């Protein structure tokens, strides 16, 4: 079946612009995660949704970062007034239930802020 998909795959933004990154999880997956992966580093947790509820946003770096999952499926990560330090790959992952099930990752969106 279809895996996790993300769009766009690449995004170039000028400093100060707003961007929106989309994640389509595996159908029926309850849990959805956003991670940020800087070059040469492991993914770092940003935020977690259980269905439409955002249960943990402790990893969001600043109030410029906002995520939503209004209908419990597709999720959007929005970054306002982008800064150069926001340049990274943003990975989305989904898992079937709310316990520690396997997390399946999407291909990521590579964001470059000039």
Partner 1 sequence: GENVEQHPSTLSVQEGDSAVIKCTYSDSASNYFPWYKQELGKRPQLIIDIRSNVGEKKDQRIAVTLNKTAKHFSLHITETQPEDSAVYFCAASSLGNTDKLIFGTGTRLQVFP
| SS3 state at 4 | coil
Shortest Å distance, C-beta 93 to partner 1: 8
- Residue 66: φ, ψ to 5°: -145, 135
68 binds partner 1 (CB under 8 A): no
| Contact pick of 17, 45, 51, 66 for partner 1 (by CB under 8 A) | 45
Q: Which residues contact 12 (CB under 8 A, 6 or more apart)?
A: 111, 112, 113, 114
Identify which range of 14-22, 50-58, 65-73, 77-85 contacts partner 1 by CB under 8 A. 50-58
Within 8 A by CB and 6+ apart from 63, the residues are none
Which stretches of the chain bind partner 1, using CB under 8 A?
A: 4, 31, 33, 35, 40-45, 48, 55-56, 58-59, 91, 95, 98-108
């Amino acid at each position: 079946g279809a895996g996790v998909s993300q769009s766009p795959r690449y995004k170039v933004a000028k400093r100060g612009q707003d961007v929106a990154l989309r994640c389509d999880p595996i159908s029926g997956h309850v849990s959805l995660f956003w991670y940020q992966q800087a070059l040469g580093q492991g993914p770092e947790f940003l935020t977690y949704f259980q269905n439409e509820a955002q249960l943990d946003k402790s990893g969001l770096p600043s109030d410029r970062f906002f995520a939503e999952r209004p209908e419990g499926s597709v999720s959007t990560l929005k970054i306002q007034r982008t800064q150069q330090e926001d340049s990274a790959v943003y990975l989305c992952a989904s898992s079937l239930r709310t316990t520690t099930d396997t997390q399946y990752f999407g291909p990521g969106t590579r964001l470059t802020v000039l």
